[in-house]
Structure 1
Amino acid sequence: MINSADEFVQLRQSEDINEQRRASNDSADIGVWHEIIQRFPDFKLWVVHNKTIPIEILTLLAKDKDPKIRIEVARKRKISDEIFSFLSEDEDENIRYSLMCNSKLSLDKKQTIKVDDSTWLTAKLEEMIKNAGS
């Protein structure tokens, strides 16, 4: 278990692969995740990559101003319906595309992602539908 924001950063920056794995796989209390986000914003991407990250933290990061963070949240297999709804209408088409590529989502759900403002996204969705029928 990760017990502090400082410990998470130390594990993530370690050259020891086992310590890096702990940063990706060990759980932490919700307060520790909040502290990492507040004190070490450059490590938010690594927070998203943690396999035990609570949905509450993913929901918070789905609204992050940095599109790189939102893209990584969109790729997470365990996103909630609330996160999906929020990201499916994101102003950044790259975030919506990342959501469209989320292998956990059904084709029916992917078809509800906003694409009408992007010919590129519309074409990508049509390609997914075509490939699903093959």
Structure 2
Amino acid sequence: MRALFEGSQGLIETAEEFVRLRNSPDPREYRRAVMEEAPFQVWKEVVDRYPEERLWVAQNKTVPLAVLETLIDDPDIRVRVMVAMKRKLSPGLLERLAHDAHESIRMRVARHRNTSRETLESLRCDAWSEVRATVEDRLGGQADVSPP
């Protein structure tokens, strides 16, 4: 019972197990799909064999950056938005997302705490005025004053 309150109960061992947990009507099983780790190969198999589950892979709290990197280019905007919301994104992945065609993803990058100053600077010229305004707020309206 203690593991239930501490978060993870174990390890998701197969792609089929993840899909079953994700689609379970039991809230405890569904929670496992969101909170538990899986080996990289399991995530890769879910992404490759079950494209309809990619959004839920991106939603998992433990999914590795390498998996998120593959989902950055997903054709489904919802998957890319979920990736852009992940706290653990690296500045490099945020830089890639800053070039996404969809303005809501670029807005998430503009607001993300891990976005580098260089990426924010590149978003100063974004096509969407809301992104530009967010960047100006974050940078304080100052030009690039990076150290030499």
Q: Is the TM value for this pair above 0.5?
A: yes
Deviations 1:61-101 (A, max 9, x none): 01212221111111100012221110112222111112223
RMSD: 2.0
- Counterpart of 2:67 (choices 43, 57, 61) is 57
Asked if 1:2 corresponds to 2:6, the answer is no
Residues 21 and 95 of structure 1: CA distance in aligned 2, closer, same or farther (over 3 Å): same
Cα offset, 1:113, TM superposition: 4.9
Aligned to 1:42: 52
- Runs (5+) with no aligned partner, structure 1: none
Work out the CA distance in 1 between the residues paired with 2:138 and 2:89: 20
More relative contact order in 1 or in 2 (CA 8 Å, sep 6+)?
Answer: 1
Which TM-score applies when normalising by structure 1? 0.84
Aligned to 1:95: 105
Structure with more helix by fraction: 1
Q: Percent identity of the aligned residues?
A: 34
Structure-to-structure mapping, 1:1-134, within 5 angstroms? 1-102=11-112, 104-105=113-114, 108=117, 111-116=120-125, 117-128=127-138
Residues 125 and 5 of structure 1: CA distance in aligned 2, closer, same or farther (over 3 Å): same
Aligned length: 129
Secondary structure of 2:61 counterpart: coil
What letter matches 1:91 in structure 2? A
Secondary structure of 2:133 counterpart: helix
Residues 105 and 113 of structure 1: CA distance in aligned 2, closer, same or farther (over 3 Å): farther
- Runs (5+) with no aligned partner, structure 2: 1-10, 141-148
Question: Structure 1 stretch 92-101 or stretch 109-118: which is displaced more?
Answer: 109-118
What letter matches 2:59 in structure 1? H
